[in-house]
Amino acid sequence: MPEFLPTAPYRGTRDFLPPEMSVRTQVFGHLYEVLERRGFLRYDGPVLESAEIYEAKSGQEIADQQLYTLTDRGGRRLALRPEMTPSVARMIAGSAGSLQFPVRWYSHPNCHRYERPQRGRVREHWQINADIFGSESANCEIEMFELIHDLLGGIGATEDMFVVRANDRTLLSSVLTDLVGVTEEQLPRVFSLVDRWEKHDRAALAETAAEIGLSDARFERLTETLGAGSALLDEIPAEVREQSNLVSVLGGGAAGLVTFDPLIVRGLAYYTSTVFEVFDTSPENNRALFGGGRYADLAGLFTSQRIPGIGFGMGDVTLFDFMGTHGLLPEPRSEVDVVVIPVSAELSDAARTVAATMRRAGLRTSTPIELRKLGKELSRADKAGARAVVIVGQEDWDAGNVTVRGLADREQRQVSVDEAAGTVTELLAR
């Protein structure tokens, strides 16, 4: 017996057959519309980038554990992009001289990370990225929070289905150093500890804190401080709060769109101030869906010009889990709206002529590739999801007519070839 290659995709990647691809296309189409209504322009970039840009700014977890790397024949170290933000920062820096800042850009790349496949995590995913470059205004934060609500609303989500939780790393730094007593040297590792706060039990957190060098008393103080929620803002010095865009918008333009949460840190190293995550409120899917934040000068890897940015990435895996949990996924579209069937092979050219008129009218139309008996073609059209067929018979065609039949009610009528597209359009509108 011959040995065949496996039909399953590489672990952690996915095949999308036409029904699932139809659902994805509909969902992403709604998201594109929302982004473009708000003035975001679409861009794209290469899937291969220099490994250095991720090792410099994406953080240890991605650079050391999740990066797919290769060395090309010229000895250059490359990586399959694990995220889009460093790439867009490179593109912004390279074209800064021709741009009118601030700019709103979005993309929909596929990204690759070597992760342990599980619910919400795979090794290849698609991600809607939205960024604003060239402004430090708090209006950028407001724009991001409004956009998140618009995007989720665009796919049918209501306000009770999700919550946007936000923090500011400068505020958290002040809290940790001034209130808890964390040293500057300990700060990066404590940030990482806070980022995992809701994912580990108290014993594991205490053990990590001890490894960092926090005493039992400081760990208790850290626990108490992080549990204060929004009340913690009152304990932060006024001069620190005044520098925070997040504090500014919490009491103004973003009121009701976002809540303050000191546990939001984000694991990527390039975030500098505002950070945020979107959470599903359903107990069946109680997890972060996506997130983002502000980066003061990620473009500084590529240029001396300082170009601040803010943005987020919305991954497809958690997005579709969210939609499935709340019953928001659309039904796959049918193959076609109408099938034009010749009753004999000699009428195939005539059928293609009629089909062309249907397509010009905006109808998704097919004709048989291998002609079968009329009954079988009607059955196949029904299974393809067509709601109507146009039958081309010899006598009708000689008289300039065709027969339009509805597949739901089985009613049919003879119409002229010129009237056929309009008749089918009316039938589908019922």
Look at residue 343 and give its three-state secondary structure.
coil
Domains contained in the chain, CATH given: 18-325 (3.30.930.10), 338-429 (3.40.50.800)
Report whether 270 belongs to an annotated binding site. yes
Inter-residue contact 166 to 264 (CB < 8 Å): yes
113 is in an annotated binding site: yes
Q: Beta 103-107 vs 41-42: how paired, if at all?
A: parallel
pLDDT for the residue 58: 64
Residue with tokens 């601040």, as numbered in its chain: 308
68 labelled ligand-binding: no
* Cβ–Cβ < 8 Å for 270, 292: no
Q: Is 425 annotated as a binding residue?
A: no
The verdict on whether residue 43 carries a ligand-binding annotation is no
CA distances from 77 to 53, 301, 302 (A): 11, 17, 17
Residue 335 CB burial class (10 angstroms; 0-12, 13-18, ≥19): middle
pLDDT digits (tens), the chain, 430 positions: 678 999 999 999 999 999 999 999 999 999 999 999 999 999 999 999 999 988 876 666 677 788 999 999 999 999 999 999 889 999 999 999 999 999 999 999 999 999 888 887 899 999 999 999 999 999 999 999 999 999 999 999 999 999 999 999 999 999 999 999 999 999 989 999 999 898 889 999 999 999 999 999 999 999 999 998 888 988 888 899 989 999 999 988 777 899 999 999 987 778 899 999 999 999 999 999 999 999 988 888 889 899 999 999 999 999 999 999 999 999 999 999 999 999 999 999 999 999 999 999 999 999 999 999 999 999 999 999 999 999 999 999 999 999 999 999 889 999 999 999 999 999 999 8
Q: Is 83 annotated as a binding residue?
A: yes
Q: What is the C-alpha to C-alpha distance for residues 183 and 161, in angstroms, rounded to an integer?
A: 39
Token pair for 33: 């519309």
The answer to whether 88 and 131 have CB atoms below 8 angstroms apart is yes
Is 271 annotated as ligand-binding? Answer: yes
Q: Are strands 338-342 and 388-392 parallel, antiparallel or unpaired?
A: parallel
Of the chain, the end-to-end C-alpha distance in Å amounts to 55
